[in-house]
A and B are shown apart, each in its own frame.
Chain A
């Protein structure tokens, strides 16, 4: 994705609110037609960055290019961006069609062309028959669609979405996630989404920038972000991750590989790529996802004899999945293991002994 021509170029963007340093040097390229997400906890600066791109905030230093044009001093109404607000900001004194057509007021289209454009935009978001509906008579999901149509009718170079799904209930959110992906493919416009929901970001994005305290901690595609988080903080924020203390052994196998002794699991060898911040001999920590650990049932054995034993400390039954917290012998704290429930696979009881299979290829190590 990153080799596509950049439509948004951020170079060393800084933002101060008085003494508060909201953005601390953001540098990133966002490609033409990319679905890009800014993900982070509240207060990490993701919304400030989005509003800076829209022009609602002036950046204190650094450079912002939109489609190759420097945006310094360009007000929001002159930028090739449009925004879907968190509250949707549907104009309450206008009906749906008037809301959607609002941005065309200044275009030199004939009123017939405008009407057709509004109709097409409403059709695109699945609200074809709702044009005459009053704004306050809309449900949350419909308001969301009106806000999308109103922004997309402007044919912006970049569509900015500020937590667009946070006001919807879980079911509606899932529907709109799929809808947004479909829309983005259809119109081919660059989408920049702000969200604090890591699952939402993983589902929808081509690339994700994880932000903490005004900085991008990691910028990668969802799979890399999930499989190879570059720091413990990112690993904790994206999905569930188990951490176990480990010792980096002085007698490495060579070839860039690292030998470790992991508490509760035993001897492991990792590739250099699994150690994002290098490896020094001594104390370290490994991270392993719940789905990378497998409970072994009677008669099963692990490949290469990589087995560990422990006691089940918690059983959480989810219907399709069961989550176990297993305290491995020799480990300081339990690890979470997720198992798909299948016919003939018994759900283990609290306090039962369990054998786990593990795989060093699914681990990451932080020094």
Chain B
């Protein structure tokens, strides 16, 4: 009896969690222009409409530039921080690492407003590069968390062995460290990319005249006629996110296998 209750609870839980997301593709392919049941008929019209909206294309391009830059910057910063945190002991290490990880729990609204105030005080225009900065701030902790795992899994004496066999610290990093943490780097790039691509609050505050994809989507909500197109776009974004996350996790696991280690849960 107890077991059945648990099963019911789990079922309800999953339905509540995923039903709204299931609605997304449902209405994306619905030929009615009002988001309501009953469904009318099957159509791919809304997806076609996506292709004919230049403002959407501009927003998408903008988002891609921001997400790719953010992924690269966050991962490079994360690489340095994760290596330092796992390889060296230095005074105040715990405090410093905690400080870098803080944006993970900082309310994004606060980050966004602070960034906006700073930019205005400095008399600078907000725009693409300021969103990249803001996104790098919130993505770096994720990059560190992922890469720290990769470094912690790597036997320290591997690097020492390479130096012992005649390599310099730099060539050791290139020949030993980088190939062994490469899966972690790929995972970090993908996750930072997704976080940046989906991020709304910072982008909303700082985007100015060139909105990112989420900001553009939000602006569409004012026009009920556009809603089915939002559904179509949402469907694509959900699929893309799931795909990228699966890819990131695959790379993380491959890294563990390559290092000959057991999976201990991991990031996701």
Q: Are A154 and B165 in contact (CB under 8 A)?
A: yes
Instruction: Kindly provide the distance from the CB of B184 to the nearest chain A CB, expressed in whole angstroms.
Output: 13
Instruction: Assess whether A89 is in contact with B158, with CB atoms less than 8 Å apart.
Output: yes
A106 close to B157 (CB less than 8 A): no
Set of chain B residues within 8 Å of A231, measured between Cβ atoms = none
A88 to chain B, nearest CB (A): 8
Type the 1/0 row for B111-131, where 1 means its CB is closer than 8 Å to any CB of A. 000000000000000000000
Q: Which of the four size classes fits the interface of chain A?
A: 20 to 34
Q: Which residues of A contact B176 (CB under 8 A)?
A: 91
- Within 8 Å CB of B26, what residues of A? none
Which of the listed residues B155, B165, B166, B259 has the most CB atoms from chain A within 10 Å of its own CB? B165
Q: Are B179 and A93 in contact (CB under 8 A)?
A: yes
If A92-B260, A136-B260 touch, whether A76 touches B163 (CB-CB below 8 Å) is: yes
**Stretch of A34-42, A79-87, A195-203, A252-260 on the interface side:** A79-87
Q: B161–A83 contact, CB under 8 A?
A: yes
Question: A77 with B260: in contact, given A92-B180, A93-B180 (CB under 8 Å)?
Answer: no
Q: Say yes or no: A83 contacts B258, CB within 8 Å.
A: no
Chain B residues near A82: list those with CB within 8 A.
164-165
Is B164 within 8 A of A106, CB to CB? no
Contact code string A313-338 (vs B, CB < 8 Å = 1, else 0): 00000000000000000000000000
- Asked if B45 is an interface residue, CB under 8 A from chain A, the answer is no
A160 to chain B, nearest CB (A): 9
B163 CB to closest chain A CB (Å) equals 5
The interface residues of chain B lying within 8 Å CB-to-CB of A16 are none
**Nearest CB to that of A83 among chain B residues?**
B164
B164 to chain A, nearest CB (A): 5
Say whether chain A's binding surface is mostly helix, strand, loop, or mixed: mixed
A194 within 8 A of B: no
Chain B, range 164-198, C-beta contacts under 8 Å to A: 164-168, 176, 179-180
Interface flag for B237 (CB, 8 Å): no
Please, which residues of chain B bring their CB within 8 A of the CB of A91? 158, 161-162, 176
Give how many B residues have a beta carbon under 8 Å from the other chain's beta carbons: 18
Q: Which residues does chain A contribute within 8 Å of B157, judged by CB atoms?
A: 85-87, 89
Which residues of chain A come closer than 8 Å to B161, judged between CB atoms?
A: 83, 85, 89, 91, 150
- Docked complex: A203-254 residues within 8 A CB-CB of B: none
Partner of A85, one of B160, B166, B180, B258: B160
Q: Which of A272-287 contact B (CB under 8 A)?
A: none
For residue A141, CB closer than 8 A to chain B, the reply is no
A84 to chain B, nearest CB (A): 9
Residues in chain B near residue A102, CB distance under 8 A: 162, 165
Say which residue of A81, A89, A136 sits within 8 Å of B160 (CB atoms).
Answer: A89
Beyond A92-B180, A93-B180, is A87–B163 a contact (Cβ under 8 Å)? no
A124 to B152, CA, bound (A): 34
Residues of chain B in range 131-164 having any CB-CB distance to chain A below 8 Å: 155, 157-158, 160-164
State A106–B165 Cα separation when bound (angstroms): 9
Is A350 among interface residues, defined by CB-CB distance under 8 A?
Answer: no
Q: Report A-chain residues with C-beta under 8 Å of the C-beta of B258.
A: 92-93
- Chain B residue numbers with a CB within 8 Å of A151 are 164-165
CA distance A103 to B172 in the complex (A): 12
A77's partner among B164, B179, B259 (CB-CB below 8 A) is: B164
From A147, which residue of chain B is reached at the shortest CB distance? B161
Considering only residues 25-52 of chain B, those with a C-beta below 8 Å from chain A are none
Given the interface pairs A91-B176, A92-B259, A93-B180, the reply to whether A77 lies near B155 with Cβ below 8 Å is no
Residue of A nearest to B182 (CB): A93
Residue from A56, A77, A87, A135 in contact with B166 in the complex, judged by beta carbons closer than 8 Å: A77
Q: Flag whether A122 is at the interface (Cβ < 8 A).
A: no
Q: Using Cβ atoms and an 8 Å threshold, which residues of chain B touch A92?
A: 158, 180, 258-260
Within the complex, the shortest CB–CB distance from A98 to chain B, in Å, comes to 11
In the complex, the answer to whether A76 meets B155 with C-beta atoms within 8 Å is no
Q: CB-CB contacts of A102-142 with B at 8 A, as 1s and 0s?
A: 11011000000000000000000000000000011000000
Contact A105 B166, beta carbon cutoff 8 Å: yes
Give Cα distance in the complex from A92 to B160, angstroms.
14
Q: Residue A54 at the B interface, CB < 8 A?
A: yes
A95–B160 Cα distance when bound, in Å, is 19
7 closest residue pairs by CB, A with B: A103-B165, A89-B161, A89-B157, A136-B260, A85-B157, A77-B166, A76-B163
Residues of B at the A interface (CB closer than 8 Å) are 155, 157-158, 160-168, 176, 179-180, 258-260
16 more CB-based (< 8 A) A-B contacts, given A89-B155, A154-B165: A75-B163, A76-B163, A77-B165, A85-B157, A86-B157, A87-B155, A89-B157, A89-B158, A89-B160, A91-B162, A92-B180, A93-B180, A103-B166, A135-B260, A136-B260, A150-B165
Interface residue ranges, A against B (CB under 8 Å): 54, 56, 75-77, 81-83, 85-87, 89, 91-93, 102-103, 105-106, 135-136, 150-151, 154
